[in-house]
Amino acid sequence: MITVTEPQIWTMIGAVIALMFGMLTAVSTLFVRVLRAEIGAVETKIGAVETKIETKIGAVETKIDVEIGGLETKIDVEIGGLRREMIQRFEAVDARFDAVNTRIDAVGSRIDGLDRDVQALVKRTFGLDRG
């Protein structure tokens, strides 16, 4: 049987241990490099997706701004038209009221004249004007 006291055995044990540590170092280094490369690729893809999303969101915001601007313009035009129409109708109503007021004034002056005539007739009929 071989005893573990011989130098060749210790040399072989040292060489195997060194090879194991070397392989462990090489494998872990390569694993870290592959992991970093894959993480970099994922980051690139995420960046591309982020850019696409930002572009689409910007396009949607632009469309919304254009639509809102168009709606604001339409609303302003409609409100302006409604305002003009209301002003015209109010002016027409004012003109009618002025015509009615003129007629009422004419009727009032006629009534005043009629009242004066009736008073004169009453005074003449009942002899109140002779004193």
pLDDT in tens, 7-62: 888 899 999 999 999 999 999 999 999 999 999 999 999 999 999 999 999 999 99
Q: What is the dihedral of CA 120, 122, 126, 127, to 10 degrees?
A: -10
* Percent of the chain scoring above 90 in pLDDT: 70
| pLDDT grade for 75, boundaries at 50, 70 and 90 | very high
Given this model, what pLDDT does residue 2 score? 64
What six digits make up the tokens of 45? 């893809």
Given this model, what pLDDT does residue 106 score? 86
- Rounded to an integer, what distance in angstroms lies between the CA atom of residue 69 and that of residue 75? 10
- Rounded to an integer, what distance in angstroms lies between the CA atom of residue 85 and that of residue 52? 49
Given this model, what pLDDT does residue 113 score? 81
> Alpha carbon 75 to chain centroid distance?
15
- Rounded to an integer, what distance in angstroms lies between the CA atom of residue 119 and that of residue 98? 31
Given this model, what pLDDT does residue 109 score? 82
Evaluate whether 51 touches 43 at the Cβ level (below 8 Å): no
| pLDDT grade for 129, boundaries at 50, 70 and 90 | low
φ/ψ of 3, rounded to 5, equals -95, 160
Q: How many CA atoms lie within 13 A of 83 on its CB side?
A: 6
